[in-house]
Amino acid sequence: MAFFLQKVITSFVEPPGLFISIVLFFGFLVRKNGKESLKWIALAIIIYFFSTGIGVRLLLPLNNTVLQDIGTIQPQVIIVLGGGTYLDTYQNRFLPGPFSLLRLHQGYILWKKEKIPLLVSGGQGYINSGPSEAEIMADILKKWGVPQEDIIIESQSRNTYENAQYCSQILLKNHWNAFYLVTSEVHLRRATMNFQFFLPDANVIPISAHPPYDRTPILFSDFLPSLQAFSAFSQIIHEYLGLMVLFLH
């Protein structure tokens, strides 16, 4: 009992639960004004919804992590999209961020099975110095035992649109019209649509590297505010906005 009580208290004194506590506190201060109090309570409920696993699960699409039946399609290359890097000050070098590493590992697992080329895609983004995402991922692949001749680097792209734009040039040059596309689950739809824009006749086989939120059965922790749930919600909103931009492009 003490463990669960500690979890509940902790979840409401740390962000994002702290924001709910603050909003409820202001609602308590104006409790004599019914309408004002209800506004604060409504705001607390909204923040709660977008800060918990329950809310995130309702926003997420159905599980699409299962590999589709590709039939007679013969993929010729595995494309892995970068998902950010960071500077490891201990080693004084850039490393793949959590999303990039998960995507890269999924691509590596596919490579071990298929033994076809791996195309890693990602430029420098907002950083104008240091190696590109693709170069960083390529170095990791080499350490995992992937031979140099199986690694293709696309290091110009700064976003999903450019991932598709520059990768499509490589695919067309090599006469490849079927490929695995590896990225985060929540990013799959937008990434696939971008690639289909540049390669309308290609066979794109989307592969999820990871879901935005844990897909285990609903647990007690799903009802508590958490940074994991809030981060998942942020990813979902980012993708919705990205899709809006894509439709307007």
- pLDDT per residue as tens digits for the range 20-56: 999 999 999 988 888 899 999 999 999 999 999 998 8
Q: Are 89 and 178 contained in the same domain? A: yes
Q: Are 85 and 184 contained in the same domain? A: yes
Q: Which domain holds residue 99?
A: 77-208
139-168 mean pLDDT: 97
Residue 214 lies in a domain: no
Q: Are 87 and 204 contained in the same domain? A: yes
Residue 72 lies in a domain: no
Residue 110 lies in a domain: yes
- Between the two ends of the chain, the Cα-to-Cα distance in Å is 54
More confident residue, 186 or 68: 186
- HSE, CB side, 13 Å, CA atoms: give it for residue 45: 6
Q: Are 51 and 156 contained in the same domain? A: no
The mean pLDDT of the chain is 90
Q: Which of 139, 218, 133 is nearest to 183 (CA)?
A: 133
Q: Note whether 96 and 136 are within 8 A (CB).
A: yes
pLDDT at 69: 62
Residue 49 lies in a domain: yes
Q: Are 89 and 182 contained in the same domain? A: yes
pLDDT at 4: 81
Residue 68 lies in a domain: no
Q: Are 31 and 132 contained in the same domain? A: no
113-133 mean pLDDT: 86
Q: pLDDT confidence of 68, banded at 50, 70, 90?
A: low
Cα angle, residue 20 at apex, residues 19 and 25 outer, rounded to 5°: 95
Q: Which of 181, 86, 104 is nearest to 144 (CA)?
A: 104
In this predicted structure, the answer to whether residue 65 has a pLDDT above a threshold of 50 is no
Residue 173 lies in a domain: yes
Bond preceding residue 16 cis, omega within 30 of 0: yes
CATH of the domain at 182: 3.40.50.620
- HSE, CB side, 13 Å, CA atoms: give it for residue 211: 16
181-188 mean pLDDT: 95
Q: Are 84 and 107 contained in the same domain? A: yes
Q: Are 158 and 97 contained in the same domain? A: yes
